[in-house]
Structure 1
Amino acid sequence: MIFEYMEKYDYEQVVFCQDRNSGLKAIIAIHDTTLGPALGGTRMWTYASEEEAVIDALRLARGMTYKAAAAGLNLGGGKTVIIGDPRTDKNEEMFRAFGRYIQGLNGRYITAEDVGTTVADMDLIHQETEFVTGVSPAFGSSGNPSPVTAYGVYRGMKAAALEAFGSDSLAGKRVAVQGVGNVAFSLCRYLHEEGAKLIVTDINQENVNRAIQEFGAQAVNVQDIYAVDCDIFSPCALGAVINDNTIPQLKARVIAGAANNQLKEERHGDLITEMGLVYAPDYVINAGGLINVADELLGYNRERALKKVDTIYDNILKVFEIAKRDGIPTYVAADRLAEERIESVKRSRSTFLRNERHLLNRLR
């Protein structure tokens, strides 16, 4: 079954890592390295079965390929899952053993922080390998990625506003922000500074209170955020919030937010397209954090990273262009943007390799 899944989506490699002393049980999935080494975080989770863990690693790795490609990064997609409870099963030996496995891949895979892992865990991995990002600032890390992710979402939202309203100005626009955590709070600051009117909700009342105090936001109940009268709906909390129950409630013209996997099913992307809503695909608009951490591989320069994050504006516009060109929903157009870039580079490399072999044959 695993090989069938790998063949279906053309994965390159799966590495199983085990260390009896530390209890390490990890799966590294490398999807595609056409554009460059695979970059993707290490997730630690209590999976119901080993098969579930493998499938999650594979699914997440493929998602990183598309995210990096659409962002214009010279990186491929990979992901690691460690089977275990991050609250009770962690130890130094586990992450150092895992670091040695990464080192053994000799740069084909670069890891980072993800659900269930921390900067401290990355520092332990860093003791055994250079192929890790998101370490402590003392080791050259870019620090907290939330503000940079928020800036990318802000730039992408402006591009979506241009598509929907004919102007990318957000001044006076009513933006309903679902979830006001670290990324969304920074996003609200950008929106407030431009003169947008904020409507917010969050399961944590302290987050809501902070947004009211800092930005003069209007607060609504968690279940009421979908139906508010607004120009832009910005999901910045859980995934799968665009679904059969919420779509009929939406009054926004634009959906643009930081949350991952916003569409519960692909058909929901078709539904909002039929309704005339402008949807900025999540993995394109929220790529700022990935772009930021990728800059660490060059020796982190914040100005350079932010300049690259600025291109999310252009990437969202490219998605809209492809959608109109091919008559497809934007969520499909985002995949096409990534796939076209990968195929273009693949053809270029293929030509170079054929020419190189031809030259070697002549030299013989």
Structure 2
Amino acid sequence: MPLQNSTESIFSQLEALGHKKIVFCSDPDTGLRAIIAIHDTTLGPALGGTRMWAYKSEAEALSDVLRLSKAMTYKASINGLNLGGGKAIIIGDSHRDKNEALLRKFGRFIKNQNGEFITAEDVGTNPRDMEYIRMETQYVTGMPESIGGSGDPAPVAALGVFMGMKAAVKELYGNDSLAGKTVIVQGIGHVGENLVKILRDEKAKVYISDINEDLLRQVAKKYGAEAIAHNNIFDIDADIYSPCAMGATVNTQTINKLNCAIIAGSANNQLEDEQVHGQMLREKGILFAPDYVINAGGLINCYSELMGFTKKRTMQLTENIYEATRNVLKLSKAENISSIEAANKIAEKRIADIKKVKSSY
């Protein structure tokens, strides 16, 4: 199955997004089909999770890994981490196709990058999978605490999103309390559920939605949230819409339906088109807390593991997402540009500044 109509179109995608390297990984014996995308290593080695997903096509898989890896570069930059951006995807059903042999073979491909790419868990992978990869390479993080790793990143990721929410609420309402605010959390996986807990502890009213109806009922009962059908989320008036599942849920169709003041969630690449939909949100008066700014808690958790930081230091770095978000929203307002443009501007400036420093060595 061809990735695109021609190899030229693959290279044009890499050039357009500024990628340094793409590695295609194939192993007939294990059934492994994977792609490692290294976007930029100016600030440090490229770190990004490995996502396992049953993509409809190889072209869709390539497009996803390119967008996700670029976002990781910007995520690390804007949050002051000395990391580059990368991402990996394994094409397949994580419930059916994943096994030790496949993961260990994938680990060999990571090892061959000689430290230029470091991976961690993502959608469709977990800490146990990282243990298998670790059997073949040292370039993996997000290991279980029982073997000296940083453990589950979900609580840290949720805290980061919460800090970003508070910054957006501060910008819009003058104080950052979420007590009494109404939040729709779409997607209640590991990060989403942790976010629901934090929001309920803060006395926010929380609506939750998920395609897994059994999980939806359980989480609603556990935290006193209100479950709503997946296709009804845009019919509810809320202060905050928090997408915490897959990307591109903020698009022309949904923006026209949205009845909220703020968008702040953990999902990657929430805007289907950064330029078009960033501007649409601005024109509609909806404040967007850029996803790669506020969902950096998981990356910070992995970075802390690599650097040997304490839990306390990890929490401090995650709480800094509040100021990072405030800076983005201030620049957006000052320069009359969308918040995603403002975030990109800040991230790109740090990378450009460090490139100048390195060129003088």
- TM-score of the pair, normalised by structure 2: 0.88
Moved more, 151-160 or 273-282: 273-282
Structure 2: gaps of 5 or more residues: 1-7
Matched, 1:167 2:172: no
Matched, 1:73 2:85: no
Amino acid at match of 1:147: P
Offset at 1:191? 1.7
Structure 1 residues 51 and 302: alpha-carbon distance in aligned structure 2, compared to 1, 3 A threshold = same
Matched, 1:118 2:131: no
| Aligned equivalent of 1:342 | 351
Structure 1 residues 244 and 213: alpha-carbon distance in aligned structure 2, compared to 1, 3 A threshold = same
Q: How many percent identity over aligned positions?
A: 51
| Aligned equivalent of 1:359 | none
Offset at 1:48? 5.2
| Aligned equivalent of 2:4 | none
1:129 to 132, 137, 141: 137
1:318 to 313, 324, 327: 327
CA deviation profile, 1:31-89 (whole Å, cap 9, x unmatched): 10000000012233445555554444333222211122122211101122334444444
Structure 1 residues 273 and 49: alpha-carbon distance in aligned structure 2, compared to 1, 3 A threshold = closer
Structure 1 residues 240 and 55: alpha-carbon distance in aligned structure 2, compared to 1, 3 A threshold = closer
Tell me if the contact between 1:180 and 1:201 (Cα under 8 Å) persists in the aligned partners: yes
1:92 to 100, 105, 114: 100
Matched, 1:305 2:334: no
Amino acid at match of 1:222: H
* Alpha-carbon distance in 2 for matches of 1:261, 1:302: 28
* Alpha-carbon distance in 2 for matches of 1:51, 1:198: 37
* Alpha-carbon distance in 2 for matches of 1:208, 1:50: 32
* Alpha-carbon distance in 2 for matches of 1:163, 1:43: 34
Moved more, 322-331 or 111-120: 111-120
Moved more, 210-219 or 56-65: 210-219
Question: Of the two, which has the highest radius of gyration?
Answer: 1
| Aligned equivalent of 1:226 | 234
Tell me if the contact between 2:144 and 2:152 (Cα under 8 Å) persists in the aligned partners: no
| Aligned equivalent of 1:361 | none
* Alpha-carbon distance in 1 for matches of 2:28, 2:85: 28
| Aligned equivalent of 2:188 | 180
Q: Structure 1 residue runs of 4+, over 6 Å off? A: none
| Aligned equivalent of 1:292 | 301
Structure 1 residues 89 and 254: alpha-carbon distance in aligned structure 2, compared to 1, 3 A threshold = closer
Correspondence 1:1-364 to 2 at 5 A: 1=8, 2-47=10-55, 50-266=58-274, 267-299=276-308, 301-351=310-360, 353=361
* Alpha-carbon distance in 1 for matches of 2:53, 2:206: 35
* Alpha-carbon distance in 1 for matches of 2:119, 2:288: 30
* Alpha-carbon distance in 1 for matches of 2:253, 2:57: 31
SS at 2:208 equivalent: strand
- TM-score of the pair, normalised by structure 1: 0.88
Offset at 1:323? 1.0
* Alpha-carbon distance in 1 for matches of 2:190, 2:92: 26
* Alpha-carbon distance in 1 for matches of 2:57, 2:190: 32
CA deviation profile, 1:179-237 (whole Å, cap 9, x unmatched): 33332222122222222222333333444434443443334333332232322222223
Amino acid at match of 2:307: L
Structure 1 residues 70 and 18: alpha-carbon distance in aligned structure 2, compared to 1, 3 A threshold = same
SS at 1:176 equivalent: strand
